[in-house]
Structure 1
């Protein structure tokens, strides 16, 4: 089974080719189909901002490391007991790359994100097929294309971020980082009734994209005084909700200063393991009573993300599509930042045939 994988550990942005990480196609064995399993022929798999971190060795250095967890496709085989959700061969689907076991203590306590067996079905999705447990699989709405359907997983992250904000209708909201998660969170928070909705992003094209999709204001943190501009937008009160979707240590440092008293600040990205952010407890936790929280994965969010998906504007996030054979080029384009999202076409599946 052809699978996109890290074949050499190293930063994909390293200018030195001899030490740069490498992406290639590797033949992986196809897992056996268990009685409750679903085999999906993958149509599209999108590159996540976390994928280059795997090339850097964030989760281990034994290569090859299979990549991909944002995907859509068509069911081609079902285990003998994989019918409890009404799934059928030919269904157009997407899903959760993690299977929550439901039996460990964290799952029983309603904290599935800390499932002790969370990696059991975490299999690479930039491949020709993938085999998942039926609990991971969601049938796509008829109005959602396979191309847009591969964004179900990042949409679930945006929903999870919204959950963690505890937003109220009318709250002032700022989002730092205009990549895919920031753009999706912007659209989701707009649905919640966010006001003074602001995107903080240094790339002009991404600021413009945010304005097209519901931002009321944008801030260029490089060319403008971020604090003064936020003060102007919020009449000196600060934002009730501040979200970081950038993952940038440089970007997150000033976000606590634009938060209102009593605000919630959500760190919704992956950060370097060695990064430690100074925190003045007197200023931010005592005097301002800020609530600081983060997002790891998205339990309980997928059914609602599926409901939200048809209401999102996704064309700009799925405009850059490469074939599976061109995975190395696709990753080079991804790390260049030329597109907010890059998608791999893993199989050329006919939408009409798959929906029949």
Structure 2
């Protein structure tokens, strides 16, 4: 089965073609169906910001490995086969679905302790999405509402991350909120914060087109970190108070150092992106934890989030995140386009007959 994989671990931007990370269409074996498995004909698989990180070896692959790394987890599709015991969720052949690329086992210490994001058995159920078909356990699969298209449905997984972020933010109506980074997660988070009644809702983003999108989607204020002092601008916008919630979706080591300074006393600072493994943030514990009492946290996948994410999808404006589509045969070009940062979101169409 042809699927888009990482084929060499390395820095995808390395100028040396022999050592940089690459993607290619590769033939890999198709797994056998289990009794509770669901075979899905994939309609769309969206490129996640983590996919290039995966090719670059950020998730434990040994440097220099030539083993294909299956990619793609933000999928939508149609059920084409059900295992004989896949009857717990009422799924039927022909259902339009999306889902969670991880299946949490339910039995390990973390699953039993309300921390299923650390499930020690989850990774064995991670199957590639940039492919004509895939097999997931029925626990991973969710039927899409009629009001959500297959293009929009492949955003269920990133929407689950937004739900997890909102859980971590502990939002209350009227809180001042800042989102750093106007990529797909940042734009989804911005809209969701708006639903919560966030005030002084601010987007920090250096790309003008993304700032314009953020304004269309509900941002009250915009900060261009390339031309403005972020701390000064943030304090002017909030009357010197800072933001009750600051969420970083940029993953930029240039962006994250100023965020503790714009977090309000007793505020919540969430580093919600992925950062270079070797990066260490300069952080003055006395200044931020003693004198400001801020809470600093992160986000590890999306436990307990998918049913609520499914409810939220129809309430958000997803048009700007579903406009750019490449065919699976053009998947390498799609990844090249992803690295330019030109497009808010890129979808790969895996079956031409599914819309």
Q: Decide: shared fold, TM above 0.5.
A: yes
| Alignment pair present for 1:57 and 2:57 | yes
The alignment's TM-score, normalised by the length of structure 2, stands at: 0.97
| Alignment pair present for 1:344 and 2:348 | yes
Cα deviation for residue 57 of structure 1 reads 1.1
| Alignment pair present for 1:183 and 2:213 | no
Is contact 1:78-1:88 (8 Å) kept? Answer: yes
Is contact 2:79-2:94 (8 Å) kept? Answer: yes
**Distance of 1:12 and 1:313 partners within structure 2:** 31
State the SS of the aligned residue for 1:41: strand
**Distance of 1:332 and 1:169 partners within structure 2:** 41
Cα deviation for residue 10 of structure 1 reads 2.1
Cα RMSD (Å): 0.9
State the SS of the aligned residue for 1:271: coil
Cα deviation for residue 350 of structure 1 reads 3.7
Task: Select which of 129, 132, 139 maps to 2:133.
Answer: 129
Q: Which residue of 1 aligns with 2:160?
A: 156
State the SS of the aligned residue for 1:119: helix
Task: Select which of 230, 233, 238 maps to 1:229.
Answer: 233
* Counterparts of residues 242-257 of structure 1 (less than 5 Å): 242-257=246-261
State the SS of the aligned residue for 2:235: helix
Q: Which residue of 2 aligns with 1:112?
A: 116
State the SS of the aligned residue for 1:265: strand
Q: Which residue of 1 aligns with 2:328?
A: 324
Cα deviation for residue 333 of structure 1 reads 0.3
Cα deviation for residue 39 of structure 1 reads 0.5
Q: Which residue of 2 aligns with 1:354?
A: none
**Distance of 1:232 and 1:349 partners within structure 2:** 52
**Distance of 2:330 and 2:39 partners within structure 1:** 24
Is contact 1:12-1:332 (8 Å) kept? Answer: no
Q: Which residue of 1 aligns with 2:13?
A: 13
**Distance of 1:312 and 1:105 partners within structure 2:** 36
Structure 2, unmatched stretches of 5+, are none
State the SS of the aligned residue for 1:101: coil
* Counterparts of residues 1-356 of structure 1 (less than 5 Å): 1-59=1-59, 60-61=61-62, 62=65, 63-351=67-355
Cα deviation for residue 317 of structure 1 reads 0.7
The one-character-per-residue Cα deviations of 1:106-140 (angstroms, maximum 9, x if unpaired) are 10111110111011210111111110110100000
**Distance of 2:300 and 2:275 partners within structure 1:** 11
**Distance of 1:228 and 1:178 partners within structure 2:** 20
State the SS of the aligned residue for 2:125: coil
The one-character-per-residue Cα deviations of 1:298-318 (angstroms, maximum 9, x if unpaired) are 011100000000011111111
State the SS of the aligned residue for 2:123: coil
Is contact 1:47-1:343 (8 Å) kept? Answer: yes
The one-character-per-residue Cα deviations of 1:259-287 (angstroms, maximum 9, x if unpaired) are 11000001101111100011111100000
**Distance of 1:132 and 1:350 partners within structure 2:** 19
**Distance of 1:15 and 1:254 partners within structure 2:** 31
**Distance of 1:34 and 1:306 partners within structure 2:** 26
State the SS of the aligned residue for 1:254: helix
State the SS of the aligned residue for 2:325: strand
Is contact 1:68-1:124 (8 Å) kept? Answer: yes
Is contact 2:184-2:344 (8 Å) kept? Answer: yes
The one-character-per-residue Cα deviations of 1:164-217 (angstroms, maximum 9, x if unpaired) are 011110000000010111111111111111110000000000010001001111
Cα deviation for residue 20 of structure 1 reads 2.6
